Amino acid sequence: MSFDLESLYKSVIRRTQDTISEIKLRGISEDLEYYAWDSRGEVQEMPATDLLGVAGWTFKENGGLWEVRVGLTLSTINDENLLREIQMLDVIHNFWGEQVQVPMLDKITGEEFTVMVVVDFDVMPAGNSEKRNYRPIGLELLRTET
């Protein structure tokens, strides 16, 4: 199986969707949706729900070592004390925390062909607008060629 960037990107999106499903299953945010932050939509056009999605990523290949940096952004709406946010961050950490293995899936078959390991999990300072909070999460994943 050969590696390609499409498989990598789709694997990150899939893992994010799985994270959303777990948050919904736990009843923390039943209307949480995936949001493509890189699409650069206007705030007033965003769904009036909690959102989680990929917000930028980089890939570096260095002598067989894959270095992937991924940004996730979690945004809660009408969460004054940020209690939903912190509950969701616990689930996100379970799916993306340090030493967690993230399966890489073939873009056509969906079968796992390798894993990447999270080596850095960074919850960054939040920003906000009127009723919406934005919490960036930085991730670094590595895989060595076998």
How far are the Cα atoms of 10, 34, 56, 124, 141 from residue 7, in angstroms, in the given order? 5, 19, 16, 27, 15
Residue 124, domain member (yes or no): yes
Q: Which residue(s) pair with 23 in the sheet?
A: none
Alpha helices of 73-137 — where are they, by DSSP H?
83-96
Residue 41, domain member (yes or no): no
- Helix, strand, coil distribution of the chain in percent, nearest 5: 30, 40, 30
Residue 55, domain member (yes or no): yes
Residue 44, domain member (yes or no): no
**What's this model's pTM, rounded to 2 decimal places?**
0.91
The 10s digit of each residue's pLDDT in 39-74 is 776 767 789 999 999 999 999 988 878 899 999 999
Residue 85, domain member (yes or no): yes
* Domain containing residue 82: CATH number: 3.30.2000.20
Report the distance separating Cα 9 and Cα 4, nearest Å.
9
Report the distance separating Cα 31 and Cα 129, nearest Å.
20
| Domains of the chain: total | 1
The 10s digit of each residue's pLDDT in 75-127 is 999 988 899 999 999 999 999 999 999 999 888 888 888 899 999 999 999 88
Residue 109, domain member (yes or no): yes
Residue 42, domain member (yes or no): no
What's the domain range around 16?
5-35+50-144
pLDDT in the model for residue 108:
84
Residue 43, domain member (yes or no): no
